[in-house]
Chains A and B, each alone.
Chain A
Amino acid sequence: MNNKRRDLLRQLAARISGIPSVTPLSLGPTVIEATDSNQAATATLQNASNKTLVVVQLMGGNDGLNTVVPYGQPAYLQNRPTIGLTADEILPIDGDVGLNSQMTGMMDLYNSNRVAIIQGVSYPNPNLSHFEATAIWESGSPELPFTNGWLGRYMDVANQLEQPATALSLGQLVPQTLLGVTSQPIALNTVNAFQIRPLTKSDTTSTAYIQQLNETACSACGEYNALVNQMMQSGLDAISASAVVRAAASSYKPQVTYPTDDFSQRLQLAAGIIVSSLNPKIVYVTLGGFDTHGDERPTQDPLLKQLSDGVNALYNDLSAQGRANDTLIMTFSEFGRRVVENGSKGTDHGTALPQFMIGGSVSPGLYGTYPSLTDLDASGNLLWNIDFRQTYATVLESWFGIQQNEVLDSTYETLSVI
């Protein structure tokens, strides 16, 4: 990381923590200058320009052991006498592991050679706090505090190399993952709400006046003008992006029927945006509810079904639209859960868990080794064998075609997943 980047990170840190920074946040590449390594990566990146990453964040800490089930290890059912999945509740991958039987959609994709499962992912000294573990995964570094996100930093680089580079966050709040030093994603909750509402049926001027409001300079607004300027910038971005996103959504015809839940409907919107001329680098979707301290099965099983059916629909839709090879879907969650169930038919915060990578360009199969359920760390948690930054490095280098050290704090061995 160069000094300029570090200065900028400091500025962003100030912004996130609420201190007005002097420079208004801009979508454009106004601050970072291209470095030699940026330029070296340009050629690769241009070839990668149609590539889209769909990130699915499973919020709350997904129990990996009931997702990709190590049913070949006797310790699995011994540790989970009430919430363990029995043979008839597992879709076998091989003699050792299988998917939760709610995940038929994912299993179909696995059987079609479209899924890679990276097993035992975590990092040294895993953090068991939701807040900090989430910040670690989203920032891409266990050394706290790191106040922007790994994909935000990627977008900073992409904005240097190729214009325009767009990231979309489908939800109410922007995840840290997508906050860059100079880049911010377009965020929207629903397409319907993402437009200036007319005051009357014949109102044709509100959009223009609100735009003008945001273009009107503030010559005397004093110390807080960084906040004023950031709001004006967000407003202008919102007005511009609204038209493009709504056009994309209205012209798109899904080729499959998506499930009706909110998560799948967001994936359908994601597909519409991916196939549009907006050609986003990243689309980010979240699925919440995985913090299953109690009554895990009735909570997690339906969530895994949502995940699996939604991703199946998205893949098949993109495939029918000729975009399956250009799209990589990746899941993550802040941590897995403990091996042993607790007294309330649930599991407490744990460590390593599997990540899914789905797409037409994925080299399918199992990666890494499944952690042992008997050889545990001092707290009785799973030992990891793949660092999450290896997954990130793989996405950066093999998918986006940039050097990982543009974004990550060190160099990690990539996986042959893509």
Chain B
Amino acid sequence: MDRRAFLKLSAATAAAAGVTAYGTSLMRLASASTNAGLPLASTDLSAPMPAQVQIPHLLRRAGFGGGPQEQAHYQAMGFDEAVQYVLNYEQIDNSALDAITPNIRTSYSGSVPAGQNEGNNLATWWLNRMVATPRPLEEKMTLFWHNHFATAISKVQNGYLMYQQNKFLRANALGNFHDILTGMTWDGAMLIWLDGVENIESNPNQNYAREVMEVFSTGRGPYTQNDVIEGANAFTGFSINSSGQGVWNPARHYDKPGTFLGQTAAFMPQDIIDILVARPETATNLSTELFQFFGYPNPSPATIQRIAAVYFDSGYDMKSVVEAILTSPEFVSNQAYMANVKSPTEYLVAGLRAFGATAQASALINSSNNQGQLLFDPPNVFGWPIGMLWINTGSIMERYNFPVNVQTTTENSSSQLNENNLFGAGSSISQGVQTVSNALYPDGIPTEVLSVIQSATATYTDPTLMTKDALRMTMASPYYNLN
């Protein structure tokens, strides 16, 4: 007896069993699967994916998917123009969204609004911003940098500093890496998170010196423990001023010469940043991390070399690097298609965005926690895992449950996703389910899986419940959960 059989047996006899034998009596709908567009196992992995799935793929990777209108908007541009539109997001007006700020203290020394949890408020604010943004790549890159420079409010304990860091990363999302690494070295939240403010001349604290190499720039490899010690000396002298900004005071700095990565000098913090940004390992490390974020796991060395060359040729310009990835043949290859698993954030945002739906703050926070990714609170400086490490029995259960709390009612009575247009009088259940699942997964869910969603939806007669169940079942399917 394998374990699942055992668990099923136990379930049948368990006093509080929630699993019934109902499933076995449901007719298995066996029909030939039609799934237009999806590459098959025999497909050449380096060949381009089918043209009609390239825009949905671009929107999933460079953003958070999108509903029927958004898909149509980008489809009309064609792939090449859509990439440029996504990349040059500064041309898209975003003033309405910028006017919405999180409910947190409004200054470094300000007090937390009564009864509020700053971390949860920040996370909810950001998730809702990702849902609403007309500049998907801006938020996607901010999310990338939040993971790359993973900083947690559980230690920083100051919502204002976390918000300032988030704003900096957004403002520089496709900026110059030299500016980004410099900014993060002087960042108030980072100075607390990795003890920069505790790093004093007489007895240095090695935390930032180690992680700025291992995690933020070169990765493991080029440095030794001695470089960590010399780096820690160079990073002495930081503090946070009364407005929450990092300041560096040469008078409190260790000023004796040392040898760092083969160079000898009395290093100041900026010297270390300059050295690290120019290292070939930094180019490789960042290129790999970005390619895996947008493309697929384990890219070939040749691919990474090409991207890394753009890093140097452009003078560390991240927009050029990201453009090189999004316009590469690898990005639209079959190998990239559905090669990633939606992170919890992508799962939450893409569903709400595609459907034009909302969820209560408490539902967003609970779901983030149960899936293992609460924004502004990564587990450690390495950030979150990727790929199938997101999926376990507990986290997948949450992916089945979150949609129950989604408000699917749309006030726009002409929208095809309006519940009455989907499942009201005179509608067809199969058509309604097709419309819902297309909104969430425009590439096309196999018909046999759609049939199960239809059967589930047909349990209800109220259009609101039918809409919610169709949404839930689609978000529960493996197809939605891939990226």
Contacts and interface: CB of A to CB of B under 8 A. Distances in A.
Interface of A: 15-20, 27-29, 59-60, 128-132, 159, 163-166, 169, 172-174, 184-190, 193-200, 204-225, 227-228, 230-232, 234-244, 246-247, 250-251, 277-278, 288, 291, 293-295, 341-344, 346, 348-349, 379
Contacts of A204: 20, 22
Given A173-B385, A227-B338, A164 B3 contact: yes
A346 B232 CA distance: 15
A60 B380 contact: yes
A149 B1 CA distance: 25
Nearest to A169: B392
A185 B10 CA distance: 17
Contacts of B340: 18
Given A173-B385, A189-B370, A235-B400, A163 B1 contact: yes
Interface residues on B, range: 35 or more
B380 A59 contact: yes
Nearest to B401: A197
Contacts of A196: 18, 397, 400-401
Given A172-B372, A193-B397, A277-B10, A207 B388 contact: no
B142 interface: no
Given A17-B387, A163-B2, A227 B482 contact: yes
B228 to A, nearest CB: 8
Interface in B5-27: 6-8, 10-11, 14-20, 22-23, 26
A238 B4 contact: no
Contacts, number: 316
A259 to B, nearest CB: 20
A240 B11 contact: yes
Given A172-B372, A293-B205, A346-B205, A219 B33 contact: yes
Nearest to B373: A172
B380 A213 contact: no
Interface in B374-405: 379-382, 385-389, 391-398, 400-401, 404
Which 10 A/B pairs are nearest by Cβ-Cβ distance? A344-B198, A18-B297, A343-B203, A18-B387, A172-B372, A28-B2, A247-B14, A240-B7, A187-B392, A238-B393
Nearest to B450: A216
Nearest to A20: B339
Contact of B195 (A19, A28, A244, A344): A344
B396 A235 contact: yes
Given A209-B455, A219-B448, A344-B200, A244 B7 contact: yes
Nearest to A16: B389
B68 interface: no
Contacts of B2: 27-29, 163-164
30 contacts: A18-B339, A19-B297, A19-B298, A128-B225, A164-B2, A169-B392, A172-B370, A173-B389, A186-B393, A188-B394, A189-B394, A199-B460, A205-B456, A206-B456, A213-B476, A215-B28, A220-B446, A223-B45, A227-B339, A234-B391, A234-B392, A237-B7, A242-B397, A244-B11, A247-B14, A278-B10, A288-B379, A294-B195, A343-B198, A343-B201
Interface stretch (B118-126, B127-135, B206-214, B243-251): B206-214
B437 to A, nearest CB: 12
Contacts of B459: 205, 209
A376 to B, nearest CB: 13
A21 to B, nearest CB: 10
Contacts of B472: 199, 206
Interface in B279-298: 292, 296-298
B465 to A, nearest CB: 6
A181 to B, nearest CB: 14
A163 to B, nearest CB: 5
A132 B296 CA distance: 23
B71 to A, nearest CB: 20
